[in-house]
Structure 1
Amino acid sequence: MVLDNKLGITDSLELARAEEKISKERAKALFEQDLLDTKKAGCFETLAFIHKTLFQYIYSFAGQVRDVNMTKGNFRFAPVMHLSHSLETIDKMPQSTVDEIFEKYVEMNMAHPFREGNGRSMCLWLAHLLKAEIGQVVDWSKVDKEDYLLAMERSPIRDIEINHVIKQALTSKVNDRTIYLKGIDHSYYYEGYSLYKTEEL
């Protein structure tokens, strides 16, 4: 199934290529133009801003909470009827330590607020949150991709693994463009392995 898009593309591979090219350019703009500097770290409003920035030229739903239920494998993300409440709860979660930040990251992943592009948006949201709260970011080149995927799949039940996988890759190079761009590439790898199913309401 090809998502309705502003580009008029009806081929899934063509859409994936266009989406990656455009959203990566927009992600670079977030960094180079310091567009997140005035945004509050760790809140859904900032995540929505990131999502809209990345996808506003591709999807009409950019920055908007999804209106379909979604599953991945046997896991069901937050139902639409409870999604707003889930996001309000996540906003109120503490975020002053590494463990609290990763717990919040896992909860936001389980909420999965957008129809498409959650992983990419959340990667940048996490970087902004880590930088603001503890003066560090993740150097994704030091994260084993398979370990990350397995840890994220198990995170709804046990978040210790994802904490371990990411903690060992933290760095204080928060303004390093190369590390930032590696994070963008990582998020595409993660979402490339995502197989979502939706239920139209």
Structure 2
Amino acid sequence: MKYHTPESEDEILPNKLGLEDPGKIAEEEYRGFLRAEIKFESELDHINQFNWKFISSIHKTAFSHLYKFAGELRQVNLSKGGFMFPAARFLPAAVEEFEKEFLKPLPDSFENYEELIELAAPLHAELLFIHPFRDGNGRTARLFGDLIALKRGFERFNFEMISEKSMPEYIAAVQAAADKNYEPMTRLFRSLKK
């Protein structure tokens, strides 16, 4: 399901490559995130801070060849399935609060996988609720979660288990973050263990 914006922007986002075929755009987006995954996993030993700048660099690495907005906070208001994400004008404050509340407290290590989940799931839910980017939020958040897990010595999360059938549960878990209820996402993350 595509986003709805108040403006009359087409389903096809304007892109640097002039692509109009949704399939070709999806291929380029996939390539971009594959490139970002390879880059950041290969640099994992040198990554010392999981901060907002790092999240933004994931998005920029994945999308800079395709979109002008790569790595930038969205300038439009978005909704999906009737659910409104925070208004664009509130994003700078929301990101600042997110960094203070979720990123700065991240420890250098986790005792076990459950402790990782208890911190990573709320962080994931909140990041997706804020929806800071024009597109690519879910992919950015999933790659970011995997990089945290890998850096701390755990396997990546098995996000492939989120199927079309379980997507409503995933979306509901993101929406629950609007009320600071992270239990639905934590429950979902527990089911992602390989």
- 1:78 aligned to 2:86? yes
Query: How many Å apart are 1:83 and its aligned residue?
Result: 0.8
| Pairs within 5 Å for 1:25-174 | 25-31=35-41, 33-34=42-43, 37-41=46-50, 43-93=51-101, 94-96=105-107, 97=115, 98-132=117-151, 135-141=154-160, 143-146=161-164, 148-155=166-173, 156-157=175-176, 158-170=181-193
- RMSD over aligned Cα, in angstroms? 2.3
Off by >6 Å, runs of 4+ in structure 1:
none
Q: Does the 8 Å contact 1:66/1:115 carry over to 2?
A: yes
Scaled by the length of structure 2, the TM-score of the pair is 0.75
Query: How many Å apart are 1:147 and its aligned residue?
Result: 5.8
Matched residues, percent identical? 24
Which residue number corresponds to residue 34 of structure 2? 24
Q: Residue type of the partner of 2:99?
A: D
Which sections of structure 1, spanning at least 5 residues, go unmatched? 172-201
Q: Does the 8 Å contact 1:147/1:165 carry over to 2?
A: no
Which sections of structure 2, spanning at least 5 residues, go unmatched? 1-9, 108-114
Scaled by the length of structure 1, the TM-score of the pair is 0.73
Of residues 12, 15, 36, the one that matches 2:22 is 12
Q: Distance in 1 between matches of 2:93 and 2:45?
A: 25
Q: Does the 8 Å contact 1:78/1:112 carry over to 2?
A: yes
